[in-house]
């Protein structure tokens, strides 16, 4: 959307360039996820089996806290900042654009449609932020209270929070469908 609205005359990426970008994204995602997978262990607790991440230097948990802090920045705050800034620029561009002297019904329909798009983009950003916030709060609290995972109910809380975070992209088509007349 950003490129289509802010730079409409720039050529799109070629199929090869798009494949390279997608490959780089998958490689980075794999590299970011690797440490957590590498240090994961299964532990049997009374009445249940849980998967935990046991970092080196278990007593100080410096690695775990550092990893979590970096991941929160890289997969929550940075995307939120990028999406928020891009959509802000798009929103300002759409909201402020007008045809001087045009006061027709068609013009008012276009202004109304543009404002609807801006509202839709704000809703998409807020949905991402709200769906992923409990996930990051959960893991931040876990590093302040390492014995938290021993609570009987915590696995259900984790699953609900994980479901909410993973469902964030599911809401985008619903938002687009409800707020976009042409979708």
pLDDT tens profile 109-155: 777 777 787 788 889 889 999 999 999 999 888 888 877 777 778 88
What was the pLDDT predicted at 2?
63
- Position with higher pLDDT, 34 vs 179: 34
Grouping H, G, I as helix, E, B as strand and the rest as coil, residue 102 is coil
Instruction: Give the Cβ contact number of residue 147 at 10 Å.
Output: 7
pLDDT tens profile 34-81: 998 999 999 887 777 878 888 887 666 788 888 989 999 999 999 999
> For residue 97, is pLDDT > 70?
no
Grouping H, G, I as helix, E, B as strand and the rest as coil, residue 12 is coil
Chain centroid, CA 1 distance in Å:
16
* Rounded Cα gap, residues 42 and 94, in angstroms: 52
Grouping H, G, I as helix, E, B as strand and the rest as coil, residue 14 is coil
Span 23-40, average pLDDT: 94
Note whether 128 and 80 are within 8 A (CB).
yes
* Rounded Cα gap, residues 22 and 150, in angstroms: 39
pLDDT band at 3 (very low <50, low <70, confident <90, very high): low
What was the pLDDT predicted at 4?
64
pLDDT band at 164 (very low <50, low <70, confident <90, very high): very high
* Rounded Cα gap, residues 98 and 58, in angstroms: 60
pLDDT band at 28 (very low <50, low <70, confident <90, very high): very high
Tell me which CATH code domain 2-179 carries: 1.20.1070.10
Helix boundaries (H) for the chain: 2-6, 15-38, 62-72, 78-96, 105-144, 154-166, 168-179
What was the pLDDT predicted at 20?
96
């Amino acid at each position: 959307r950003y490129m289509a609205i802010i730079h409409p005359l720039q050529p799109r990426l070629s199929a090869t360039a798009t494949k390279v970008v997608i490959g780089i994204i998958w490689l980075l995602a794999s590299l970011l996820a690797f440490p957590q997978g590498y240090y994961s262990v299964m532990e049997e607790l009374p009445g249940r089996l849980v998967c935990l991440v046991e970092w080196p230097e278990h007593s100080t948990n410096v690695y775990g806290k550092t990893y979590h802090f970096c991941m929160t920045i890289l997969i929550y705050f940075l995307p939120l900042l990028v999406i928020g800034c891009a959509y802000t620029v798009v929103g300002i561009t759409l909201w402020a654009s007008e045809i001087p002297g045009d006061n027709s019904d068609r013009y008012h329909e276009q202004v109304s449609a543009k404002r609807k798009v801006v509202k839709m983009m704000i809703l998409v950003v807020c949905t991402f932020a709200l769906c992923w916030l409990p996930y990051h709060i959960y893991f931040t609290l876990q590093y302040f209270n390492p014995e938290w995972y021993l609570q009987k109910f915590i696995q259900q809380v984790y699953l609900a929070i994980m479901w909410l975070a993973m469902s964030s992209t599911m809401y985008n088509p619903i938002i687009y469908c409800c707020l976009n007349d042409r979708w």
